[in-house]
Amino acid sequence: MGGFKESLAAAVRQMAFRTSLDSLKKKGVQQVSVLGIDRIVALVEAAVHRSLRSHLVGIEREAVADATKEEFLRLLRSNEDLQRQKSEIERLKERAEEEIDGLRRELATRHQELQLRLEQGAQAVADRYEGENAAIAQRVGEVLRSLAGAGAPTVADAEARVVELVLDVVSGERRSAEEARAALRDREVENLQRRIRKLNDALGQTEQRLQEVAAMKSVDDGISSIYREVQGLRPGEVQAQKKKELMAEIFKANLELQRKLEG
Amino acid sequence: MTESKQKDHGVLYIGMDLGTSRTSISASNGVRETIFSVVGYPKDVVSQKLLKKDVLYGKEAIDKRLSLKVYKPLEKGVLKYTGDAAMDGEAKANLKAAQDLIGEAIRHARPRKDELVYCVIGAPAEASVKNRAAIVEAARAHVDSVMLCSEPFSVAYGLDWLEDVLVIDIGAGTTDLCRMHGTMPEETDQVMYDVAGDAVDAELARLVAESCPGAQFTVQMIKEIKERYGFVGDSAERAVVELPVAGKPTTFDLTQQIGKACSILIDPILKGITKLVATFDPEFQQKLKNRVLLAGGGSMVKGLDSAVEKAMRERLGGGKVVRIEEPIYGGANGALKIAHDMPADYWEQLK
Ligand SMILES: Nc1ncnc2c1ncn2[C@@H]1O[C@H](COP(=O)(O)OP(=O)(O)OP(=O)(O)O)[C@@H](O)[C@H]1O
């Protein structure tokens, strides 16, 4: 039963709290009495024995003391098991939470990117149009000026003709260029939107998982039986002999059943 | 004794009553639970996602039955799977459902992982050897050691009535009479009638419809009224209930109808008693007549014990009837007691 003392010592250590001398001083404490763990363990043991001695004698006392120690160790162990299972659940939960966090951040970045791209697209189109318009005006001016120099029929006639000509050409060019650009941009935007959708789905799933983990009741440790060992009929039981026979009969029938199952 | 005695884990005994409509457990850690013997599996992936479970049991399975494939693996008191080589898919599914149900019942007992679990299952007396083997197979997956006994035996053992007992189990679908003179009754020791709880409900519904024109009710309402007021013989209290007539709650006194409906139980019971007594060893007939045990949910009909006694006086020249105190847990409690009294080596040998 050496393990008992160690476990008791560990339990005492666990239950103790730490404080510094300074903080004690601040509270006005000048002197402290020190009680070693070994001493505490011995005291607990002595106390258990003393209280048992007043009720029981000899072997019986030993047996009860042993049983108590065993029970104590068993409780400690099962408590440890429970702690392990709990921290496993907690770990799962933390992981799911981290995942959700990551997904949320990525989703926000993608949204920003998409917004930027859409704005950039609009600005680029405006800039381009402006540049193109200026170039066209310039070219029209040049044509007109050369026409005027050559002393052509009427300026108005010439202007109308040239503008018509140029605009016709330019607008055709512009349309096809615009279509190509639009197609390219739509693809990018579409890709971004698709990724956002996917991220959203992933987020939903992870959140559901988190909910499931949270819903997992803290693992049921079960309820202890009132029996520590196999019982069997008590000697003084009413109709003990008859019951013994009946138990043997049930056992025999079940043994046969098992043989059939295996054979 | 065997080595298990030295180990520091405890021993959890579980007594189980595997019934057609209900499965009850009673365990040595103080847990007692009962669940409807119904198991449901999601019909498809969508249902599964929605329900977030692979298997549902008892009331939950009944409530969500529309999205489930539902099994009642013990219907007619017998596990449907018979262990034949040429087992069809449906039979396999029933065995799986029975296994899952037994597992669920054991989980309800909340055993600790570090304890030995020894279980005694009271199975319907009429279960065939093959069916019993299937029950054991199903249980072995969940416990350290398991034994089967007949359900009427476990009921009687729970009261220390060890031999020459006539157990009458009044369930929902059937009333089963069984003569016990050992642990395993034989075919000739049993009689079964399909006049039981459900038949009383049907009769009461008929009488109410006949005598209360315009009253609206469902079978469930009738059943609840019966469970609240059910009696035979002299009534202790008037059964005054409200039923809607054209939507308006209306008061009816159903005392007479309830007494009449419940009394349909008496005749088959008497027929069964007469048959089982008459074919018993003449030397022990008197003893058998004096040890009639009423069990099952239907035995909660007030005055039934005295009514059966009275009828036995008239038709058999006497008899004594006792109603068990806890009809729902009678079988499970008895099985728990058997588990407790079973010697350690027997358990060990069946591991
Ligand atoms: N207080 C009560 N008074 C009268 N009848 C009752 C009462 N409580 C339950 N019952 C009836 O008992 C029946 C159910 O009994 P039980 O739970 O023993 O059934 P079961 O053994 O599973 O059924 P079966 O034997 O048919 O398989 C039902 O008909 C129910 O209405």
Could you read off the pLDDT of A65-75 as tens digits, one per residue? 666 666 666 66
* pLDDT at res. B77: 45
Q: CA separation (Å) from A154 to A141, A142, A158, A159, B290?
A: 15, 16, 6, 9, 137
**Could you tell me if A247 lies within 8 Å of chain B, comparing CB atoms?**
yes
Residue A225: its chain B contacts at CB < 8 A?
10-13, 27-29, 111-112, 115
Q: Mean pLDDT throughout A25-54?
A: 67
Asked if residues A40 and A56 have their Cβ atoms less than 8 Å apart, the reply is no
The residue behind tokens 């005291």 is: A43
Q: CA separation (Å) from B191 to B18, B101, B174?
A: 19, 27, 10
* pLDDT at res. A49: 63
Lowest mean pLDDT among A54-68, A162-176, B22-36, B244-258: A54-68
Q: Which of B221, B226, B299 to mutate to test the pocket of ligand 1 (most atoms within 8 A of CB)?
A: B226
| Higher per-residue pLDDT: A144 or B59 | B59
**Could you tell me if B160 lies within 8 Å of chain A, comparing CB atoms?**
yes
B74 CA: nearest ligand 1 atom? 27
Confidence of residue B301 (pLDDT cuts 50, 70, 90): very high
Tell whether B9 is covered by a domain: yes
Confidence of residue A145 (pLDDT cuts 50, 70, 90): confident
Structural domain boundaries in chain A: 161-212
CB contact (8 A) between residue B136 and residue A220: no
B176 CA: nearest ligand 1 atom? 25
Q: Which of residues 44-83 of B touch A (CB under 8 A)?
A: 52
Q: A258 vs chain B: nearest CA distance in angstroms?
A: 7
Spell out the residues 6+ positions from residue B16 whose beta carbon is closer than 8 angstroms to its own.
B23, B24, B25, B102, B105, B106, B119, B120, B121, B122, B332, B335
* pLDDT at res. B6: 43
Residue (of B155, B168, B123) closest to B333 by Cα position: B155
Q: What is the DSSP string of B155-214?
A: HHHTTT--SSEEEEEE-SS-EEEEEESSSS--GGGEEEES-SHHHHHHHHHHHHHHHSTT
Position B320 pLDDT exceeds 90: yes
Confidence of residue A56 (pLDDT cuts 50, 70, 90): low
Position A17 pLDDT exceeds 90: no
Among the partner residues B10, B160, B349, nearest to A224 by beta-carbon distance: B10
Lowest mean pLDDT among A84-98, A237-251, B265-279: A84-98
Q: Mean pLDDT throughout B74-81?
A: 58
CB contact (8 A) between residue A250 and residue B338: yes
Helical segments of A16-57, H only: 21-26, 37-53
The residue behind tokens 């920003």 is: A112
B19 lines ligand 1 (CB under 6 A): yes
Residue (of B271, B256, B258) closest to B301 by Cα position: B258
CATH of the domain at B82: 3.30.420.40
**Could you tell me if A126 lies within 8 Å of chain B, comparing CB atoms?**
no
Relative to beta strand B165-170, strand B292-295 is parallel
Q: B30 vs chain A: nearest CA distance in angstroms?
A: 8
Q: CA separation (Å) from B24 to A209, B101, B134?
A: 34, 11, 19
Q: Which of B74, B299, B300, B328 to mutate to test the pocket of ligand 1 (most atoms within 8 A of CB)?
A: B300
% of chain B surpassing 70 pLDDT: 94
Size of interface A-B (CB pairs under 8 A): 124
Q: Mean pLDDT throughout B217-225?
A: 93
Q: At what angle do helices A240-262 and B330-341 cross, to 10 degrees?
A: 90
Cα B45 to chain center, whole Å? 35
Confidence of residue A64 (pLDDT cuts 50, 70, 90): low
Q: Mean pLDDT throughout A112-130?
A: 80
| Higher per-residue pLDDT: A61 or B268 | B268
**Could you tell me if B27 lies within 8 Å of chain A, comparing CB atoms?**
yes
B22 CA: nearest ligand 1 atom? 22
Asked if residues B154 and B15 have their Cβ atoms less than 8 Å apart, the reply is yes
Tell whether B335 is covered by a domain: yes
| Higher per-residue pLDDT: A22 or A159 | A22
| Higher per-residue pLDDT: B131 or A73 | B131
* pLDDT at res. B5: 42
How many domains would you assign to chain B?
A: 1
Position B44 pLDDT exceeds 80: yes
Q: B317 vs chain A: nearest CA distance in angstroms?
A: 30
Position A59 pLDDT exceeds 60: no
Tell whether B217 is covered by a domain: no
Amino acid at A47: A
Tell whether B131 is covered by a domain: yes
Domain extent at residue B67: 3-156+329-349
B42 lines ligand 1 (CB under 6 A): no
* pLDDT at res. B3: 41
Q: Mean pLDDT throughout B203-230?
A: 95
Tell whether B123 is covered by a domain: yes
C-alpha B171 – ligand 1 centre gap (Å): 4
Among the partner residues B115, B162, B183, nearest to A250 by beta-carbon distance: B183
B302 lines ligand 1 (CB under 6 A): no
Residue (of B318, B338, B330) closest to B294 by Cα position: B330
* pLDDT at res. A54: 56
Confidence of residue B113 (pLDDT cuts 50, 70, 90): confident
* pLDDT at res. B69: 94
Position A220 pLDDT exceeds 80: no
Q: A25 vs chain B: nearest CA distance in angstroms?
A: 47
Question: What is the phi/psi pair of residue B321, to 5°?
Answer: -120, 130
% of chain B surpassing 90 pLDDT: 64
Tell whether B200 is covered by a domain: no
pTM reported for the whole predicted model: 0.64
Q: Mean pLDDT throughout A121-138?
A: 76
What are A166-200's pLDDT values in tens digits? 677 677 777 877 777 777 667 777 777 777 777 77
Our separate counts of H helices and E strands in chain B read 13, 15
